[in-house]
Amino acid sequence: MNNLCRYTHHTHILIITRHRFLTSRTAMRNLWTKAGVFGSVSVAFGSMLWSQKSTDSDPVASSCTATDPNPSSPYDLKLVQVLFRHGARTPLKSIPDVMEVQWVPTLLEPPAHTHINYVVTDLHGGPRPSAPVEDSYRRNLLTGGTFPGQLTTVGMQQLYELGTRLRRKYIEETPFLGSTFSPAEVYVRSTNIVRTIESAKCLVAGLFQQKQKEIVNIFTTGAESEILYPNYHGCKLLKLLGSHRWAESSTLPDIAVDLQSIQSALGIAAHQHVDFILIRDDMVARETHGLPCPPVLDTWRDKVEQRAVDMICHVYEPSKRENLQLCVGPLLHTLLTNLDENVQGTSSEPNRKLFLYSAHDTTLIPCLMALGVFDMKWPPYAADITLEMHQHRQTNEAFVKVSYIDQDLLIPGCSGVYCPLQEFKEALSAFSMSSEHYQSLCNSTGGLTEP
C-alpha cells in the first residue's frame, strides 16, 4: 500500500483520538454514538458515523457545538459549503461471468417527496451543456433494462435524508437558513451527470421539504472544464501523470496475487478485465439494494474493500503534490475563494449562505487526502464533506470547521477543530490552485516541481 496513504490513515486516528480526548476534558457529559450511514447502506460497507450529542446544557459543551443556538456560544455561523457524493446507483459495470441480477426500471422510480421544480443550466444560466460521460453510460444496458450509473430510489432517499439532516442543523436547531428555498441564499452545482443532478435535487427537497418560491437552478459545466472530479479528459498533464497509474494499479504485486485468487474463486475467465474497484462497485450496489451476491464474496468482502482503497491510493498518489493539485486544486481554490469573499464582503451574492456541490467518490477521496484526513475507507453513498465558517463574536476572527459524514475533524496544520481561517488556507496552500494556473499546467508537456 502507498506509504502516505498508511500515514494519513494513522494520522486520522490520532487526530480523532486527540479530539475525543480534548472533548472529554471540556465536556465530560458528551456522548459519542455510532450509527450506520443512512440506514440503507449495508453494514459491511457503510462507514460508521460518530455523532456528538450533548446530554445536558453544559455551557462549555454548548460553546463547542457549531450550530448550537445557545447565545453563550462565542461563534456566529456565516457560511456553509457541502461537497457530497451522489446516492446509491446501479453499478458502472457488472462483474463478468458471475450470477446476474436484474437491474429493473422499477428500482429507479423517484419518491413523490423528492420532487421539486428545477432546471439544469450551464454556469451562466444558459442551456445545459452536452454530457459525454452520461452518453457513454447510455451506450450500454445492464441485465434488467437499466443503464449503468443511474441513481436509484434508494439513492434518492439517501440524499433526501442528507437534506433533512442539514435542515435540522441549519433551519430547525439554528435559524441560519430560511425555511423556503431561495436562490439568493443557496447555490447548487453538480457534475453534468444525471445521478449527481438528481442527487442535488433530492437533497434540496429534503432540506426545504419541497418548499420553494422560485425554481431551483442546478448549475453545471461542460466535461472539458469540470472541476468537481479529477478531469482526465480536460487536463492533458493529469492524464499523462495518472492514466498509467490506473493501468498499473492492478498489477502491483500484492494486489495482482489477490486479484488472481478472487477471479479464480468467482470463476471469472482469465481474459476478462476486472479489478477490485469494479468488483467492489458491483458488490456494494447489489448489497445496498438487497440483490444477491455470489456467496464466495462473503469471505472476500474485507479484502475487496482493502484492495480497492489500495488501488485508488496508487492512482491518486498522495505522496506526490502535483497529482492531488491537478485532481482537486481548482475545487479547493473555489471553496477557499467562497470563504474569502464572505469575510471580505466582496461576493456578488451577499446573501448567499450555502453552497451545495454534488459530486462523486472520486471527488471526496482526493479532497480528504489533500485535507490530510483520509481514513482508508471508501466514501459511502451520500457521504459529505461540510465546511462551516464561523465568526468569533468578540474578535470578529473567522474560523473554519470541517466535518465528514457529520463527524468533526481536526485538520493537520490547524490549532483546533475551529481552525483560524488563515491556518486553514495555509493547510491547503500546497494543493489549492487557481483555474488560470491549473489551465497553464494542464496544457504543458512538462511536469510540476515539488515545493
Positions marked catalytic: 86, 361
Give the distance from CA 160 to its chain's centroid: 16
- Give yes or no for a contact between 400 and 424, defined as CB atoms under 8 angstroms apart: yes
Matching residue, cell 492531488: 324
Pairing of strands 407-409, 31-35: unpaired
Give the chain's count of helices (H) and strands (E). Answer: 13, 11
CA dist 135 and 201 (Å) reads 21
Distances (CA, A) of 161 to 108, 196, 295, 297, 338: 17, 15, 31, 30, 26
Closest CA to 95 of 243, 238, 262: 262
- Give yes or no for a contact between 399 and 79, defined as CB atoms under 8 angstroms apart: no
Interhelix angle 421-428/321-344, rounded to 10 degrees, is 160
Q: Which residues contact 30 (CB under 8 A, 6 or more apart)?
A: 23, 24, 52, 53, 54, 55, 61
CA dist 205 and 232 (Å) reads 32
CA dist 217 and 122 (Å) reads 9
CA dist 360 and 180 (Å) reads 27
CA dist 205 and 110 (Å) reads 12
Give the distance from CA 157 to its chain's centroid: 17
- Residue 103 φ/ψ region, left for φ over 0, alpha for ψ in the -120 to 50 degree band, beta for the rest: beta
- Give yes or no for a contact between 360 and 191, defined as CB atoms under 8 angstroms apart: yes
- Give yes or no for a contact between 219 and 180, defined as CB atoms under 8 angstroms apart: no
- Other beta carbons within 10 Å of 308: 22
Please tell me the number of Cα atoms within 13 Å of 46 on its side-chain side.
Answer: 22
